[in-house]
Amino acid sequence: MSTPGFLADGLAGKMSQDECDALHFEMNGPTELKVNGRPLKFEPYAYRPYPAAIYGVWTDDRKRQAILDEARAKGLDLKQPLQREEAESNIPKWDSRLVGSDRERQDWLNKGWTDNPDDVDQARDSYIANTIAVAAAERAHTDRRMSEPAKAEFQAADRANGEEHLLDLPVPPLNKPRGRPRKTAA
């Protein structure tokens, strides 16, 4: 499709709004074509916000499936290291999904996804930082409500774990014998 003459001549900035609207309708308006003698009519372009693409970090299962799909499409043998690398290099570095509404989009954004594929790493880091902050706040809240012996037990477990905060104490092994107790003759 060629550029209209008045745009090619550099007159685009000198057009009135009515001329711009007419040009827009001409370029995006309804189209009628004939295919095999049958008329086909295409409606004019209308903006629809959904479905929209949203981007995030690959999960292991979805990345594995994408690699398998790529290998099947190109006839690659994933047992061969070079062919596996080729399949991995052909998939994008981010995962994508289609969302159908504002609510669904907001749910995915709250899970660390983003509208722009270039922002995936930053959105993932922000999501991880927020998740850690929420866990730390919950731990601080429960620490305030614990008894002194429970606080001492948690502090000992934290020190044993390299001064990292544990969200829950490790469960000590039970020293009870397995199975049902034997009947005693009475």
**Of 25-34, 107-116, 134-143, where does mean pLDDT reach its minimum?**
25-34
Structural contact between residues 60 and 86, judged by C-beta atoms closer than 8 angstroms: no
**Of 10-14, 22-26, 117-121, 160-164, where does mean pLDDT reach its minimum?**
10-14
Which residue is it, tokens 């969200």? 167
CA distance linking residue 59 with residue 112, whole number of Å: 12
Number of alpha carbons in the 13 Å side-chain half-sphere of residue 11: 11
Torsion angles phi and psi, residue 35, rounded to 5: -120, 120
Which residue is it, tokens 């004939």? 34
Structural contact between residues 27 and 14, judged by C-beta atoms closer than 8 angstroms: no
**Of 72-81, 97-106, 138-147, 162-171, where does mean pLDDT reach its minimum?**
162-171
Which is more confident, 158 or 62?
Answer: 62
DSSP state for residue 93 in the 8-state scheme: S
CA distance linking residue 63 with residue 76, whole number of Å: 16
CA distance linking residue 85 with residue 92, whole number of Å: 13
- Give tens-digit pLDDT for 118-142: 888 888 888 888 888 888 888 888 8
- Give the mean model confidence (pLDDT) for residues 106-119: 90
Which residue is it, tokens 């479905």? 51
Specify the pLDDT at position 5: 47
Listed in sequence order, the DSSP H helices in the chain are 5-8, 17-28, 60-74, 81-90, 102-110, 120-144, 148-160
Specify the pLDDT at position 171: 67
- Give tens-digit pLDDT for 156-185: 887 877 766 666 666 667 777 778 888 887
Specify the pLDDT at position 180: 84
CA distance linking residue 88 with residue 67, whole number of Å: 6
Specify the pLDDT at position 8: 47
Instruction: Judge whether residue 108 has pLDDT over 50.
Output: yes
> In this structure, what token pair is assigned to residue 103?
């609510």
**In the beta sheet, which residues pair with residue 27?**
none
Q: 70: helix, coil or strand?
A: helix
Q: What is the mean pLDDT of the chain?
A: 82
- Give the mean model confidence (pLDDT) for residues 14-35: 77
pTM: 0.51
Q: Which amino acid appears at position 153 of this protein?
A: E
